[in-house]
Amino acid sequence: MRILVAEDDASLADGLRHSLRHAGHAVDLVMTGAEADSAVASNEFDLLILDLGLPKMSGLEVLRRLRARQSRLPVLILTAKDGVDDRVRGLDLGADDYLVKPFVLAELEARVRALARRGQSDSAVLSHGSLSYDTVGMVASIEGEVVELSARELALLKILLERAGRMVSKEHLVDHVCEWGEEVSTNAIEVYIHRLRKKLERGGVKIVTIRGLGYCLERPRVN
Ligand code: CA
């Protein structure tokens, strides 16, 4: 997933970024509410982690404006221990979940996984013919045998699996697996897909190129 973290405490923001990257996500950071507001208005994120106490526009105002634009972007708010009123207001304004500071990173990661699963299948395991992908353990396997994939290959595979049988554009892949300032071209995506294809071919997994547009993970044949 591509995640925007809006947090003005630099050390907490760094910790969040490190931990979420480790879990295979692309993470962008902003430190003010105004930056968060313009970032979510002009980029495709899959999740916003939003501190409510931000300078230059409160987190609540960022959230209010986001929902006023009819955005359904999942939002996890971070609140202070004594911020019961903020928490309630945040949930009323359309936050999907909250965490009270200080929290342990393992809990944040679990909440992020739960939000990522929302609106998709309830299972943490995505199956596709002989291939299965455990989104919690971040392990892909073919007939029970683990396939060694890089974090980025796993991120691409997850997107393709969630949209199996449908075309996914290269731009969409770039937007959802890359961070700001990362020089990842659509050509680089071709390279990742090429590697992924090689690693998965023994399982009969077919990633079809739709010339000039993108890719489609072919639905498995049912025998
Ligand atoms: Ca703060």
How many whole angstroms from 76 Cα to the centroid of ligand 1? 14
Question: Going by C-beta distance under 8 Å and a sequence separation of 6 or more, which residues neighbour residue 92?
Answer: none
How far CA 71 is from CA of 6, 8, 166, in Å, comes to 17, 23, 23
How many angstroms separate the CA atoms of 127 and 130, rounded? 8
Stated pTM of the model: 0.73
The mean per-residue pLDDT over the stretch 40-65 comes to 95
Domain boundaries, the chain: 2-117, 125-217
Q: Are 48 and 6 in contact (CB under 8 A)?
A: yes
- Classify domain 125-217 at the CATH topology level: Arc Repressor Mutant, subunit A (1.10.10)
Which pLDDT tens digit goes with each residue over 65-89?
999 999 989 999 999 878 889 999 9
Kindly report the CATH number that applies to the domain delimited by 2-117. Answer: 3.40.50.2300
**What pLDDT is attached to residue 67?**
94
> Could you give the 3-state DSSP secondary structure of residue 201?
helix
**What pLDDT is attached to residue 121?**
54
**What pLDDT is attached to residue 137?**
80
**What pLDDT is attached to residue 123?**
64
How many whole angstroms from 55 Cα to the centroid of ligand 1? 8
154-161 CB contacts, 8 Å cutoff, 24+ apart: 154/24, 155/1, 155/24, 155/25, 155/26, 156/189, 156/192, 156/193, 156/196, 157/133, 157/196, 157/200, 158/126, 158/133, 160/207, 160/215, 160/217, 161/126, 161/128, 161/133, 161/217
With CA atoms as reference, report the closest residue to 131 among 65, 196, 54, 46. Answer: 196
- Over the Cα atoms of the chain, what is R_g? 18
How many whole angstroms from 82 Cα to the centroid of ligand 1? 13
The mean per-residue pLDDT over the stretch 106-112 comes to 92
Same fold, 2-117 and 125-217: no
How many whole angstroms from 79 Cα to the centroid of ligand 1? 8
How many whole angstroms from 52 Cα to the centroid of ligand 1? 7
What's the mean per-residue pLDDT of the chain?
89
Which pLDDT tens digit goes with each residue over 156-192?
999 999 888 899 999 889 888 888 777 777 788 899 9
How many whole angstroms from 28 Cα to the centroid of ligand 1? 17
Distance between first and last Cα of the chain: 33
Beta bridge mates, 4: 28, 48
How many whole angstroms from 172 Cα to the centroid of ligand 1? 31
